[in-house]
């Protein structure tokens, strides 16, 4: 679940689109020397990126479904966009390996242990800056911890996979994991930095590396939030997010300034809000119109987000 600063940069206006296929090395399609980021990805016959300046970039080398020899043949293949809107992650059609790249850049293998064979059994999550990948498994538990900045794949903390991965801090410097009723914050080397027992089901870690946020209520109709300081144990009062009638909190995160950021599904698409942790006041930042496609992915989405479906599920 885990938009922060990057999502606040998405455009509201509708502009004409120019389709730019990626032919030879993805290099270049390239994308002009502009500061355009990825507004969202959508899947038609192939994956496509819609950039913040309105251009569309096709990504035909990305798998859209698990191959016939996979554990779960035919299930949808993950396609992720880092929350900063600059990195994409997908299973490569040519060999099934999970890779990362920018719109203009070359592919980098995340880990050769993560392949299309495990689609539907192992799910990747990426940090906001695209520099770290963690997978969760059907075990349940965790799989790989890949630090892309250093090119290292680390074993899970304590060399046990009995953790639940909950998310990254906005700066990508910390990881939030849970084991039974204990929340622990790890650094990128998987050294524990702070830990506390709690009954709160936290879903977001702030940039101060000690504050976590939890949704309160019943899925999928969340409208309340509570904060916990893992260092001091201090818990905030439960605050109701003041969203328009009929809207709920579908995604909860922090930005780099430690503001609460909420995404809420609307009839037309998604609205992004900055929320006061003290009063629950929700200030709209951006509105994103849903494209005419069954599957779409926003920056920062997990492998599957129920709120992106065309119809809201009932609890």
User: Which pLDDT belongs to residue 255?
Assistant: 96
Which architecture characterizes domain 163-292 according to CATH? Answer: 7 Propeller (2.130)
Q: How confident is the model at residue 303 (pLDDT cuts 50, 70, 90)?
A: confident
Q: What is the CA radius of gyration of the chain?
A: 19
Q: What is the mean pLDDT of residues 167-189?
A: 97
Q: How confident is the model at residue 305 (pLDDT cuts 50, 70, 90)?
A: low
- Residue intervals of the chain classified under CATH 2.130.10.10 are 163-292
Distance CA 261, CA 294 (A): 25
Residue 36: phi and psi, rounded to 5, are -60, 135
Q: What is the mean pLDDT of residues 59-67?
A: 97
* Contact status, residue 215 vs residue 222, Cβ threshold 8 Å: yes
Q: What is the mean pLDDT of residues 127-146?
A: 95
User: Which pLDDT belongs to residue 139?
Assistant: 84
Instruction: Reply yes or no on whether the pLDDT at 1 is more than 50.
Output: no
Distance CA 284, CA 185 (A): 30
Residue length, the chain?
A: 315
CA dihedral 304, 305, 310, 313 (to 10 degrees): 110
User: Which pLDDT belongs to residue 10?
Assistant: 37
Distance CA 216, CA 238 (A): 8
Cβ-based burial of 130 (10 A; exposed 0-12, middle 13-18, buried ≥19): buried
Distance CA 193, CA 306 (A): 32
């Amino acid at each position: 679940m885990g938009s922060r600063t990057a999502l606040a940069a998405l455009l509201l206006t509708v502009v004409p689109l120019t389709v730019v296929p990626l032919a030879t090395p993805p290099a270049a399609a390239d994308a002009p020397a502009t500061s355009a980021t990825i507004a969202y990805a959508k899947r038609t016959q192939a994956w496509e990126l819609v950039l913040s300046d309105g251009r569309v970039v096709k990504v035909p080398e990305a798998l859209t479904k698990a191959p016939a020899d996979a554990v779960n043949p035919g299930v949808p293949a993950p396609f992720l966009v880092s929350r900063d809107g600059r990195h994409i992650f997908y299973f490569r059609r040519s060999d099934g390996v999970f890779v990362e790249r920018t719109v203009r850049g070359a592919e980098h293998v995340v880990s050769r242990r993560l392949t299309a064979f495990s689609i539907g059994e192992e799910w990747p999550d990426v940090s906001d800056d695209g520099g770290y990948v963690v997978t969760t498994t059907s075990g349940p538990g965790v799989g790989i911890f890949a630090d892309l900045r250093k090119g290292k794949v680390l074993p899970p903390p304590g060399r046990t996979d009995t953790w639940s991965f909950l998310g990254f801090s906005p700066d990508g410097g910390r990881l939030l994991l849970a084991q039974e009723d204990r929340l622990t914050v790890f650094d990128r080397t998987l050294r524990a930095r702070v830990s506390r027992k709690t009954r709160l089901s936290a879903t977001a870690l702030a940039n101060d590396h000690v504050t976590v946020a939890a949704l309160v209520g019943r899925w999928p109709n969340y409208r309340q939030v509570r904060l916990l300081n893992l260092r001091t144990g201090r818990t905030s009062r439960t605050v109701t997010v003041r969203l328009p009638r009929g809207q709920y909190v579908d995604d909860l995160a922090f930005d780099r300034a430690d503001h609460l950021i909420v995404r809420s599904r609307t009839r037309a698409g998604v609205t992004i809000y900055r929320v006061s942790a003290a009063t629950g006041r929700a200030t709209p930042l951006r509105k994103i119109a849903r494209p005419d496609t069954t599957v779409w992915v926003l920056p920062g989405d997990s492998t599957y987000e129920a709120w992106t479906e065309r119809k809201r599920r009932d609890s």
